[in-house]
Structures are given as C-alpha cells and as structure tokens.
Amino acid sequence: MKDFRDQLSSINKKVDDDDMVALVLNNLSSSYESFVEALHLMAESQTLTFDK
C-alpha cells in the first residue's frame, strides 16, 4: 500500500493518512474483523499512520 501511495504522490495526488488507513481496513477480509475492531478502538485515543 505504501508503494501505491508513493506512486500517487509521484503524480501529485496526495493521499492522507486517514484515507490510507480507511482504504486498508475496509479491504481486509472478514477473517481480520477482530483486528479491525481493535484498531478502531485504539484509534479513538491514538493517531494511526504509515510512517516507518
């Protein structure tokens, strides 16, 4: 996903962190449902990013 974001950035199409997180979480299979729910709960108190 970071490569995808970098490619978009190279053509001046910025994708912010919130949109990237939403894109990734919304495209996970149902087997990740509990993981996604845990991240949603964490996001209420923290900021999630794709920084290294």
The per-residue pLDDT for range 3-51, each reduced to its tens digit, is 888 898 899 988 888 888 888 888 999 999 999 898 888 877 776 666 7
Task: Report if residue 30 sits inside a domain.
Answer: yes
Domain count within the chain: 1
pTM over 0.75: no
Alpha carbons 8 and 34: distance in angstroms, whole number: 30
Domain membership flag for residue 50: no
What phi and psi values does residue 46 have, to the nearest 5 degrees?
-140, 165
**Would 10 be classed as within a structural domain?**
yes
The answer to the question of residue 49 being in a domain is no
What is the rounded radius of gyration, in angstroms, for the C-alpha atoms of the chain?
A: 12
pLDDT, position 30: 94
> Do the domain assignments include residue 25?
yes
In this prediction, residue 11 carries a pLDDT of 95
Residue 20: the pLDDT is: 85
Which pLDDT score, from 0 to 100, does residue 28 have? 92
Is 14 among the domain residues?
yes
Instruction: Using CA atoms of 22, 2, 17, 51 in order, give the dihedral in degrees to the nearest 10.
Output: 130
